[in-house]
Amino acid sequence: DIQMTQSPASLSASLGETVTIECRASEDIYNGLAWYQQKPGKSPQLLIYNANSLHTGVPSRFSGSGSGTQYSLKINSLQSEDVASYFCQQYYDYPYTFGAGTKLELK
Amino acid sequence: QVTLKESGPGILQPSQTLSLTCTFSGFSLSTYGMGVGWIRQPSGKGLEWLANIWWDDDKYYNPSLKNRLTISKDTSNNQAFLKITNVDTADTATYYCARIYGGYLYFDYWGQGVMVTVSS
């Protein structure tokens, strides 16, 4: 199985700040990576697919980058509605695997 | 508009079989490239992929659950199903179904989830 190591596990940031979340795969996943946002009590929502493509309706302050085994999600100009947990997922190979998640809070 | 909604028993006892239904609208599982997946999440924990089923009835399972999973679909009624046999307390979780669109492999729309508790 491909292991996804996500960091940090938790993050505290101020409104307007830029935050970055990292995900490292145990082998090359050839950009087969998605990022999801999950607000408390809600289901995950797709933000980014194919490592750097923005899903329909997602604000442009979210962006994804990376290649090979290293990927990142960046949130520019943090808004209060961005408080959530974020998960990466590789879909390059079965079984699909997720990162453990990053809980983003406001400072 | 794509929507998915999960339904299940709520609570069941160890060793029983868990049967889940995903009822969806806004797409068809008979359309080339479409798929539905099941994912679960224990309370306060991370996400675990369970299984995918595709428009052509191809199926993929998470080997960590060995032979306990069976995924199926009813195309005419826009439903997908997941059965998990011989459940125990470790299967207590919120279960989600999600769409996989048009040959891409990620989950673009998710249901609201259904909570399942395994308890004696």
Residues of chain B contacting A42 with CB distance shorter than 8 Å: 112
Chain B's closest residue to A56, CA to CA, is B108
Angle at B4 between CA B29 and CA B119, to 5 degrees: 115
Token pair in block for residue B20: 């889940």
B37 contact A CB<8A: yes
Q: Which phi and psi angles does B65 have, rounded to 5°?
A: -100, 10
Q: How many CB pairs under 8 A join A and B?
A: 57
The tens place of each residue's pLDDT in chain B, 120 residues long, gives 999 999 999 999 999 999 999 999 999 999 999 999 999 999 999 999 999 999 999 999 999 997 999 999 999 999 999 999 999 999 999 999 999 986 778 999 999 999 999 999
Q: How far is A3 from B116, CA to CA, in rounded Å?
A: 27
Q: Are B113 and B46 in contact (CB under 8 A)?
A: no
> Does B46 contact A49 at a Cβ distance shorter than 8 Å?
no
Nearest-neighbour CA in chain A from B42: distance (Å):
12
For A63-81, what is each residue's pLDDT tens digit?
999 999 999 999 999 999 9
Residues in chain B: 120
Q: How far apart are CA A85 and CA A83, in angstroms?
A: 7
What is the spatial distance between Cα A64 and Cα B112, in angstroms, rounded to a whole number?
25
Q: Looking at chain A, how many residues does it have?
A: 107
Any B CB within 8 A of A45 CB: yes
Tokens of A13: 């940031």
